[in-house]
A and B are shown apart, each in its own frame.
Chain A
């Protein structure tokens, strides 16, 4: 610890009138204040050397149009032709000859070869010293995100016919890119732009491609967004294929129809969203917009299939399905909807992803879920799930020393007491929202335990991950199956770690095992 008394200049007269402090003391204090400010590398990244009024080759740079994680986009004028264009610069920290800059340029050049009415045209790549810039067609009418926001504010929806047309155009553009071997990886409303005629233009290919390696998980320290459009395989860190773009476009279609993304998490939590994309069936859009035709609901369901090969084979097929939509028979539509995605899950993938989640983030989410449970009516399954949560957290916390973990445990304990009281005073429906929420709390707690365990006991992690999944399916399977699964898992765990030292996979106490019965 720093001893402020020794290392810092003494401030002026304590509590006295600052205005009378002598100048030397005031300046000395100001030096301390300035010295404490974050350095350039700690604070926001420095601006790229581009600014309004600058010149880049034949382009005169105008106002800033937008800014993403890695790049800024300016409006610019081509001084030779008078044409307005958009110029995208990698931010200063990504410029130079690093791998990101190299990929940026390579992808830009590949993108320039795509000539399609539904893809933003790349006009060239410019260099200005270290700075690299992508010159693109200017698409003036904003994005589908803006359109959705406008509709939301006016409490209206985009007409279904128009929705189908917009997504069909986007699918055609994405298909053109796929044919060139390029996967977008980040299809979402804000990357689908509208030109003056209302034509959809898919944007932001190159920049996203260069983001390989910086997944939303590794980036979560900076920003916990709502990765509402990511495919299950992306969530699991598996190989991304054109089918991933189909899924993301399906999620976008869902939002255009219903005004909301397929999966909703109360708190912006990548972990919660990850589990939902991986394991929760996509809802039927008709539940949110009843006039949605069955064929369109079927197209949505097919595009949001958990397994890539169950989705449309190509984005082109997606476009065709939308174009021929109303010719799909009702029976075929029903069949497609009936084949809802199941709860299959790749435990290994979940475990891998858990390793990237910070303990703190998971625990915070557990607490938030737990708070949610608190506001719901009692249900025996609430109690059951919370008991499970407590068991997993208790086990994990034996070797942990983290305030938030302790708090999570305290909170779960108090919820357990509250839910017990509630359970004895009310009627319960067979499957209540409370049970689902409780299951998620248990899932989060289990995941928390997993994160704790991961250092030296992969079997523990597998158990916790499995428990998380089991908890998530609690509402569907009923509590008995849930306990059975958890118990089996735990017994497997005990066998797996027997005799090993330095793990937390120690035998569970008799009393806790009995509580499983």
Chain B
């Protein structure tokens, strides 16, 4: 019997399927099911599939499922429950284009569960830590999927005393420093999580004030720079973080996710391999053929995310990566910079408005 993605019971059943072991046959079955369901309910997605001459009826393998471009989330409401009111809407920052992409979720239940379980399975919740988030809280930024995810974590990891350190648009560095210093004194391991540019901001402020974190502490950065703050390479960022907080580079994680998806991939250390949870896969594709590239070759990242039930399970990004036997190596999140030179591009258009 097909899943009913609109009912709480149906969603619970789907969630249970995702969190249970997934072998190849089950993966194929679940991807087909979700693809057919979304194909039937989202005209915009259906049009893309038809342009690629792929329908649920003629689908050969899950690898052939056409992906919705990330950019389309900025132009069209990709929501599989057209008559229902979304229970959560998350928006991209729109930093680079001025047009936010929107992810509409019927309920945030599946997102909550997979973002917690994905982090747990990646190994983030193995030890008792006090969380510090360099973002606004979910209450302050209800449209931020990152804040929402960070909000889910402490409860799931059975931690208390977590804090969000961006309040009313201001980074409360002095208080963060005070709380961290207290925890360091007590030998309490901490986890500091934030966007790469928030870490750069923090490093700039604490350049001459290293703070050795207790053993078991870790850092998690995400999101790239998107033209904010000063831009530094991952190698430099990790070296500076390692120096400032006296943590090994293996204690620095990168979270690779996006508002348009429900699942995330994680990597440790500089140039670490990203790995997805079992209910999501990443294909590194040749944009010309649309096919997966051979191992050790570069391509663009295409996500197949079985937790993304309310919008599109397959999302095509413009992020560059190298396919590896044990995952993929993210080479760069392609900003929406248009060709530099004299031709006016999207970024400039923003400044014109």
Question: Do these two chains interact?
Answer: no
Q: Which B positions have Cβ atoms within 8 angstroms of A?
A: none
